């Protein structure tokens, strides 16, 4: 095509588009004369914006003096103006007021720069309160989400996140039905779980006691060198929801009369169960005195501050368990409660990892600073802040950071965590069953064996029911 012909065609197209725009604008201006108009002294070639009340304004780079604004407008008035602008102008006509309000709240909280200050919807708040009480109605399984999951053919779309069972809770419907650690949930009551978050998954699974829930499960059958050779079993299973009591404490005796006390979280039941377990440790294993205690707080995300002080008081007779630095600059000491002191006279080790946080770090820091235990494992998470709950009228709540906490020797562990006395790399068996290199190092320490590197291979895993 000749250049002159292309130029002619381009001119025709431009004229046609301009005519169409002009006709469209004229039609809209006739229909809505108050909303569609050129700004005073403005050029018809200047790009337009429209305010929430329908007034057309030139863009910021246009002629000065045409913008109208109120510099003394209150922030909440701007927020409402934005909400109205969205409702009246956004391309999707159905905009949920609740969702955009929740989004605005979360945006306000994010602006504080504190990842632990957050908003709980009414549903989230109920879940939070239930978990702290130590019981709920569901299938009896701890759930987490695996990112970028690529399973068998029925797990499409590959690469989506999928919820999976971290651990069935003993005596619950999931455990009774034979569900296993690592089982992946592909669907809940026919709804795909692709990219379904942990909270949403839990919400779908929980419900009224005795009601059914249908799960589609994918179970990995082998672990070949070539991932293409992996085999999966996919099956449906019907479970009836039941009341599940969460027991955060588990006590087991290891060979050599070493007590292994595992603590999963700090809820309202924690101190009572820790106290009962420690009484058994004092009594010994079948009459034989305990040689030592392994206090395992790996994967413990924390929980209630008062529960942490109560548990710390089991090992510490007096003085501070934790200090808090308040927003006013004042320091507050949470001291040991003497009536809880157990006076254990055996070697104590504490196991931690990068997931040990909050209340678990409070207890670990107190035991370390007071020289009451030897800390073994990985550096902890580093959450050194205290939050309070503010109830909202809609049934939700704000979780607001009000103070920073310090260990008894005033160490600030924010984003650094607590460095163990003996660093041990977590082994695959530690992650799978807890009976790997870290636990073996604790056993060796109590038995008086030394290891200068602090690193144990997973070949020395602790047997079950030994």
Catalytic site positions:
358, 369, 383
Give the separation between CA 305 and CA 301, rounded to whole angstroms: 12
What angle separates helix 198-205 from helix 122-133, to the nearest 10 degrees?
80
Report the candidate in 413, 401, 403, 404 with the shortest Cα–Cα distance to residue 366.
Answer: 413
Closest among 342, 250, 359 to 296, alpha carbons compared: 250
Contact assessment for residue 35 and residue 54, using Cβ atoms and an 8 Å cutoff: yes
Alpha helices in 32-91 (DSSP H): 75-89
Q: Are strands 242-245 and 212-220 parallel, antiparallel or unpaired?
A: unpaired
Element housing 402 (H / E)? strand 397-406
- Could you tell me which residues are beta bridge partners of residue 422? 376
Angle between helices 305-313 and 270-283 in degrees, nearest 10? 20
Give per-residue burial for 172-210: e unless 16+ CB within 10 Å, then b. Answer: bbbbebebeeebbbbbbeeeebbebeeebbbbbbbeeee
- Tell me how crowded residue 452 is: count the other CB atoms within 10 A of its CB: 5
- CA–CA gap between residue 385 and residue 194 (Å, rounded): 33
**363-367-373 Cα angle (round to 5):** 125
The rounded distance, in Å, linking the Cα atoms of 358 and 322 is 11
Residue 51 and residue 63: Cα distance in Å, rounded? Answer: 17
């Amino acid at each position: 095509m000749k250049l002159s012909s292309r130029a002619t065609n381009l001119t025709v197209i431009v004229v046609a588009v301009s005519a169409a725009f002009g006709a469209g604008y004229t039609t809209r201006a006739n229909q809505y004369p108050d909303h569609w108009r050129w700004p005073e002294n403005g050029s018809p070639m200047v790009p337009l914006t429209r305010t929430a009340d329908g007034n057309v304004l030139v863009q910021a780079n246009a002629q000065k003096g045409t913008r109208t604004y109120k510099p003394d407008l209150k922030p909440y008035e701007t927020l409402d103006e934005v909400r109205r602008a969205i409702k009246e102008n956004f391309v999707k006509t159905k905009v949920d007021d609740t969702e955009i309000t929740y989004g605005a709240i979360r945006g306000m909280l994010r602006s504080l720069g504190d990842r632990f200050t957050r908003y709980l919807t009414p549903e989230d708040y109920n879940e939070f309160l239930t978990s702290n009480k130590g019981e709920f109605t569901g299938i009896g399984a701890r759930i987490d989400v695996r990112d970028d999951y690529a399973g068998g053919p029925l797990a499409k779309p590959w690469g989506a996140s999928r919820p999976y069972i971290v651990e069935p809770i003993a005596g619950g419907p999931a455990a009774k039905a034979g569900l296993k650690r690592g089982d992946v949930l592909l669907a809940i009551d026919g709804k795909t779980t692709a990219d379904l978050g942990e909270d949403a998954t839990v919400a779908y699974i929980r419900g009224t006691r005795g009601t059914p829930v249908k799960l589609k499960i994918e179970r990995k059958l082998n672990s070949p060198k070539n991932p293409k050779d992996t085999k999966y079993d996919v099956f449906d299973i019907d479970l009836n929801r039941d009341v599940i009591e969460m027991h955060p404490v588990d006590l087991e005796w290891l060979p050599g009369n070493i007590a292994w006390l595992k603590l999963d979280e700090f809820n309202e039941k924690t101190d009572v169960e820790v106290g009962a377990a420690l009484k058994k440790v004092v009594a010994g294993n079948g009459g034989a005195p305990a040689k030592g205690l392994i206090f395992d707080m790996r994967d413990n995300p924390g929980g209630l501050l008062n529960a942490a002080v109560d548990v710390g008081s089991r090992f510490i007779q007096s003085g501070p368990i934790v200090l808090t630095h308040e927003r006013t600059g004042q320091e507050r000491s949470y001291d040991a409660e003497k009536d809880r002191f157990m006076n254990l006279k055996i070697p104590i080790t504490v196991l931690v990892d990068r997931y040990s946080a909050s209340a678990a770090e409070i207890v670990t820091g107190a035991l370390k600073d007071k020289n009451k235990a030897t800390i073994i494992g990985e550096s902890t998470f580093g959450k050194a802040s205290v939050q309070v709950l503010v109830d909202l009228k809609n049934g939700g709540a704000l979780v607001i950071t009000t103070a920073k906490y310090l260990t008894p020797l005033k160490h600030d562990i924010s984003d650094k965590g607590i460095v163990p006395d003996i660093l041990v790399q977590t082994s695959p068996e530690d992650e799978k069953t807890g009976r790997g290199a870290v636990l073996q190092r604790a056993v060796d320490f109590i038995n008086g064996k030394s290891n200068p590197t602090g690193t144990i291979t997973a070949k020395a895993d602790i047997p079950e029911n030994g």
